[in-house]
């Protein structure tokens, strides 16, 4: 397959790039490096076998040049993952969020249409698209109810892709992702609680739990998520629409903290702060539709994924000078 991946230097995007290259596909990566880390693409750039099958463009998804880049790549599939992903920053600056997440997505739709691309696989937000659902785990037939500018903008992307399907016969698949975690998630960001807690514990900084720790999320491992992207790309063209990608399991923030602390051999308690605007109390996604139409189901259990993430964090996070002592004392 010839593919184009927006957000290629990001946490999920770079993991997808590695998977596509490992399977022999061609990849053109697009990123403006606003949060993406060039080092995430070191393996993609350096491995000899991939030479000629991978190129990287530094460009904003809102830029007019995107049209020529997509046309030049002539992809069978466009994976659209570039986004402003900070929900809380979307509350303080909704216009910035909308420019990247709505106008950027429209530009990707237009560039794809002009290049004759049928299949666009979009990273939608399954965790935020339903608002406060009447039942959990929530399936795709539940009414949408976005409660933050980020959630509205990500959902707008789904609606634009749906309109492009109607108007131009495009075949978009929107993967409504739960809380994705795993190696390469930024430990300095606000979104990835597993990377944030793990990094805090490794560096001896206090970890903050917002609220009393009883809020729940559906944590899905990044390797399982990129598997869903590949399956979506390869699905028959009649398969279109939104597909939840999660585990269906709710885990409290307090339990996640304890699992990470145990994986690191730590026993320190987190501090608590008040719940932040735009945050949900509970979410979990029913993935029966993905299982039926994409043949997808999650394979990595949370404890296993946490161990893999913690192993990776140890290689990128600097422990404090007294770290060994701190471990022995605990």
Ligand X SMILES: NC(=O)c1ccc[n+]([C@@H]2O[C@H](COP(=O)([O-])OP(=O)(O)OC[C@H]3O[C@@H](n4cnc5c(N)ncnc54)[C@H](O)[C@@H]3O)[C@@H](O)[C@H]2O)c1
Q: Which stretch binds ligand X (CB under 6 A): 8-16, 20-28, 69-77, 252-260?
A: 8-16
Interatomic CA distance for residues 330 and 328, integer angstroms: 6
* Of the candidates 12, 288, 283, 8, the residue with the CA atom closest to the CA atom of residue 151: 283
Q: Nearest 5 degrees, angle CA 149-CA 106-CA 148?
A: 5
**By C-beta, is 4 or 266 nearer to ligand X?**
4
Q: Report if residue 90 touches ligand X, rule: CB under 6 A.
A: no
Q: Is 150 a catalytic residue?
A: yes
The tokens describing 120, both together, are: 């666009």
Residue 261 contacts residue 206 (beta carbons within 8 Å): no
Structure tokens belonging to residue 287: 């993935």
Q: Quick count: other Cβ atoms within 10 Å of Cβ 239?
A: 15
Q: How many residues bind ligand X (CB under 6 A)?
A: 30
Using the rule CB under 6 A, which residue among 44, 75, 84, 140 binds ligand X? 84
For the four alpha carbons of 87, 89, 94 and 97, in that order, the dihedral sign comes to negative
| CB nearer ligand X, residue 9 or residue 170 | 9
Whether the Cβ atoms of residue 221 and residue 298 lie closer than 8 Å to each other: yes
Measured CA angle at 307 (ends 31, 281), to 5 deg: 75
Looking at beta carbons only, is 13 or 270 nearer to ligand X?
13
CB of 122 to ligand X, least distance (A): 8
**Whether the Cβ atoms of residue 161 and residue 170 lie closer than 8 Å to each other:** yes
Exactly one of 31, 140, 224, 293 binds ligand X (CB under 6 A); that residue is: 31
Segment 50 to 79, residues that bind ligand X, using CB under 6 A: 60-62
Q: Does 129 bind ligand X (CB under 6 A)?
A: no
Q: Is 187 in the site for ligand X (CB under 6 A)?
A: no
If one asks whether residue 260 binds ligand X (CB under 6 A), the answer comes out as no
The catalytic position among 50, 150, 164, 221 is: 150
| Measured distance CA(188)–CA(210) in Å, rounded | 16
- Contact (CB, 8 A) for 218 and 104: no
The yes or no reply on residue 219 touching ligand X (CB under 6 A) is no
| CA distance linking residue 260 with residue 309, whole number of Å | 9
Report the alpha-carbon distance of residue 49 to residue 147 in Å, rounded: 45
Cβ-contact 122, 4 below 8 angstroms: no
The binder of ligand X chosen from 154, 171, 242, 298 (CB under 6 A): 154
Contact pick of 90, 179, 244, 309 for ligand X (by CB under 6 A): 179
Report the nearest approach of ligand X to the CB of residue 320 (Å). Answer: 26
Beta-sheet pairing, 216-217 with 251-252: antiparallel
Of the candidate spans 4-12, 49-57, 230-238, 318-326, the one that interacts with ligand X by CB under 6 A turns out to be 4-12
Choose the stretch contacting ligand X; rule: CB under 6 A; options: 6-14, 90-98, 163-171, 259-267. 6-14
Please report whether residue 256 would count as binding ligand X according to CB under 6 A. Answer: no
Distances, alpha carbon 306 to alpha carbons 268, 270, 301, 310, in Å: 17, 17, 9, 6
Considering only residues 289 to 318 of the shown chain, the ones binding ligand X according to CB under 6 A are none
Q: Of 66 and 115, which has the nearer Cβ to ligand X?
A: 66
| DSSP category for residue 133 | -
Per CB under 6 A, the segment of 26-34, 141-149, 288-296, 319-327 that binds ligand X is 26-34
Binding window for ligand X (CB under 6 A); candidates: 70-78, 113-121, 176-184, 278-286? 176-184
119 near ligand X, rule: CB under 6 A:
no
Supply angle C-alpha 273, 275, 278, rounded to 5.
Answer: 145
Comparing CB distances to ligand X, the nearer of 82 and 306 is 82
- The residues assigned a catalytic role are 150
Task: Give residues in contact with ligand X (CB under 6 A).
Answer: 7, 9-13, 31-36, 60-62, 81-85, 100, 104, 123, 125, 127, 154, 177, 179-180, 191
């Amino acid at each position: 397959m010839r593919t184009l991946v927006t957000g290629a230097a990001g946490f999920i995007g770079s993991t997808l790039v590695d998977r596509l290259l490992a399977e022999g596909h061609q990849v053109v990566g697009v990123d403006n490096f606003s949060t993406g880390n060039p080092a995430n693409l070191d393996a993609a750039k350096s491995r000899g076998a991939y030479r000629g099958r991978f190129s990287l463009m530094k460009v904003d998804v809102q830029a007019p040049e995107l049209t020529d880049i997509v046309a030049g790549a002539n992809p069978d599939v466009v994976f659209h993952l570039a986004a402003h992903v900070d929900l809380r920053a979307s509350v303080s600056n909704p216009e910035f969020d909308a420019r990247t997440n709505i106008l950027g997505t429209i530009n990707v739709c237009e560039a794809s249409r002009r290049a004759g691309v049928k299949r666009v696989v979009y990273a939608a937000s399954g965790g935020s698209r339903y608002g406060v659902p009447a039942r959990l785990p929530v399936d795709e037939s539940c009414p949408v109810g976005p409660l933050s500018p980020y959630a509205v903008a990500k959902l707008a992307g789904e609606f634009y892709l749906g309109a492009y399907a109607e108007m131009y016969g495009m075949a978009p698949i929107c993967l409504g992702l739960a809380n994705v975690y795993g190696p390469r998630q930024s430990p300095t960001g606000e979104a990835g609680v597993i990377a944030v807690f793990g990094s805090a514990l490794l560096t001896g900084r206090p970890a903050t739990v917002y609220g009393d720790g009883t809020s729940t999320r559906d944590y899905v491992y990044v390797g399982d998520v990129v598997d869903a992207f590949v399956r979506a790309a390869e699905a028959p063209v009649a398969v279109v629409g939104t597909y939840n990608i999660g585990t269906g399991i709710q885990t409290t923030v307090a339990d996640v903290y304890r699992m990470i602390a145990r994986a690191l051999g730590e026993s320190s308690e987190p501090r608590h702060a008040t719940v932040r605007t735009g945050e949900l109390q509970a979410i979990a996604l029913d993935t029966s539709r993905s299982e039926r139409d994409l043949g997808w189901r999650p394979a990595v259990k949370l404890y296993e994924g946490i161990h893999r993430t913690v192993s990776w964090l140890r290689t990128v996070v600097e422990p404090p000078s007294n770290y060994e002592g701190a471990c022995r004392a605990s």
